[in-house]
Amino acid sequence: MSVVLVVDDEPHLVRTLAINLRARDYEVETAQDGRSALQAFHEREPDLIVLDLGLPDLDGVEVLRRVREVSEVPVIVLSARSESVDKVEALDVGADDYVTKPFGMEELLARVRVALRRNRELDSPQQPPFETDRFRLDFAERRAVIDGAETRLTPTEWRLLSVLARRPGHLVSQRDLLREVWGPGYGRESNYLRVYANQLRRKLEPDPTRPRYLLTEPGQGYRLVRSD
C-alpha cells in the first residue's frame, strides 16, 4: 500500500484529500505546516507527497528543497499561486507536478496515480546505460556519473533523460516528451520542459549556455546526443 503525505494548512482540504485517498486504498499521513511535514517525511518515508506552497511557517518551496536534499520521492505541488514564475520556481527546486487551486479531485487523483506509476516504472527499467565522453547515465542503478563524480538526479530528470536516451540523436517532440514523462493529459506545458532542460544542462554540460549533449530544436522538441 502506497503512503501519501498530504501537507496543507486548510483543515477541510486535508480531510477531503485524506478521505478520497483512503477510499482508493492509499495510506495517508497529514501535516498542516512545514516543520510537521518534514518530521512526518523523515519518520514515514512516504511514496508520494502532496505539498501546498502557502504554509504558515516554512514556505512550501523550502520544504521541497529540504526534501530534495535527501530524497527523490515524487512531489505534487498544490498552490493558489497561478503565476508562471511560481510554477517555474517549484519545478526548478524539484517538484514533479504542479496543480493550481481550486482543482478537481479526480484530476488530482489521476496525477497521483501517474506519479506513483512512473516512479515504479523507473525503479525497474530495462534500459542500457547512456555514455558520453563527459557523463554516464546508468538507468538500472539510477546513477549519474559526471566528470568522475556521482551526481543526484530527480525522478523527473531521470524520466526525461530515459525518453531521450531511448532515441539517441533523434528529435523527440515536446508533445511526446510531455506525455511520456508526465502522462497522457499533458501536451502543452512547454515551460515544464524548459525548466528541466535548464536544470539538466547545469548538471550535464561543461557550459550550460552552449549545450553539446542536450539540444533544443526551437518550437519542436529536444534531442540527446553523445557528442557535438
Is residue 84's pLDDT more than 70? Answer: no
27-31 vs 3-7, strand pairing mode = parallel
Are residues 33 and 99 both part of a single domain? Answer: yes
Query: Mean of the pLDDT values across residues 92-97?
Result: 87
Hunting for cell 516512479 — which residue is that? Answer: 119
Are residues 149 and 87 both part of a single domain? Answer: no
* Residue 1 CB neighbours (<10 A): 7
Q: Give CA–CA dist 95/121, Å, rounded.
A: 18
Residue 123 pLDDT level (bands cut at 50, 70, 90): low
Are residues 134 and 71 both part of a single domain? Answer: no
pLDDT of amino acid 121: 63
Residue 131 pLDDT level (bands cut at 50, 70, 90): very high
pLDDT digits (tens, 9 = 90+) for 34-69: 999 999 999 999 999 999 998 999 889 999 999 988
Are residues 113 and 12 both part of a single domain? Answer: yes
Hunting for cell 536534499 — which residue is that? Answer: 69
Are residues 89 and 14 both part of a single domain? Answer: yes
Is residue 228's pLDDT more than 70? Answer: no
Are residues 20 and 104 both part of a single domain? Answer: yes
CATH code at position 38: 3.40.50.2300
Hunting for cell 523527440 — which residue is that? Answer: 172
Picking from 39, 67, 41, 37, the residue whose alpha carbon sits closest to that of residue 52 is: 37
pLDDT of amino acid 125: 53
Query: Mean of the pLDDT values across residues 85-94?
Result: 81
Spell out the residues 6+ positions from residue 151 whose beta carbon is closer than 8 angstroms to its own.
144, 145, 203
Q: Which domain holds residue 32?
A: 3-123
| Residue that finishes a domain, picked among 70, 99, 123 | 123
pLDDT of amino acid 23: 96
Are residues 40 and 101 both part of a single domain? Answer: yes
**Mean pLDDT for the chain?**
89
To the nearest whole percent, how much of the chain has pLDDT over 90? 62
The DSSP 8-state label assigned to residue 153 in this structure reads -
| Residue that finishes a domain, picked among 123, 141, 161 | 123
**Based on the structure, what is the number of domains in the chain?**
2
CATH code at position 200: 1.10.10.10
* Global confidence as pTM: 0.71
Query: Mean of the pLDDT values across residues 3-27?
Result: 96
Strands (E), the chain: 3-7, 27-31, 48-52, 75-79, 97-100, 130-131, 135-138, 143-146, 149-151, 172-173, 214-217, 221-224
What DSSP assignment string belongs to 80-136? Answer: S---HHHHHHHHHHT-SEEEESS--HHHHHHHHHHHHHHHHHHHS-----EE-SSEE
pLDDT of amino acid 77: 94
3-state secondary structure of 182: helix
Residue 225 pLDDT level (bands cut at 50, 70, 90): very high
Residue 75 pLDDT level (bands cut at 50, 70, 90): very high
